[in-house]
Amino acid sequence: MKYLTISALLVTAMAIQSVHARAVDIDVHGMTCAFCVDSLKRAFSEMDSISKVEVSLKHKKIHLETDDTQPSIAVIKQTVLDAGFTPTKILVQPNEN
């Protein structure tokens, strides 16, 4: 029973890692306050394909952990624009696990 539980945990951990298969870093022009950070966090947190959102006012960057192909870069750019900011650079890094 002990080995079955450990095996199940390992399979679950591997499945979670494969779902979140890329990181996206976005440089953003126009962020000036905590409200800016909050509005961007909310916009991206509402997307099902994004598992983690970090917004840095100091560095003017957004870090996303997403599914392998969703959301598309076009959707990410439009989300930043719809929030009232300008994406200046987008870097996509596939997960190496």
Q: Is 71 helix (H, G, I), strand (E, B) or coil?
A: coil
How many domains does the chain divide into? 1
C-alpha closest to that of 22 among 72, 89, 80, 82: 72
Half-sphere exposure of 31 (CA within 13 A, CB side): 23
H or E, element range at 74 = helix 73-82
pLDDT above 70 for 71: yes
* Tokens read off for 36: 């800016």
Question: What is the radius of gyration, based on Cα positions, of the chain?
Answer: 16
Q: Is 33 helix (H, G, I), strand (E, B) or coil?
A: coil
Instruction: Give me the chain's average pLDDT, please.
Output: 85
Read off the CATH number of the domain in which 61 is found: 3.30.70.100
What predicted TM-score, i.e. pTM, was given to this entire model?
Answer: 0.76
Task: Tell me which residue range forms the domain holding 37.
Answer: 2-94
Dump pLDDT digits (tens) for 16-48. Answer: 444 548 999 999 999 999 999 999 999 999 999
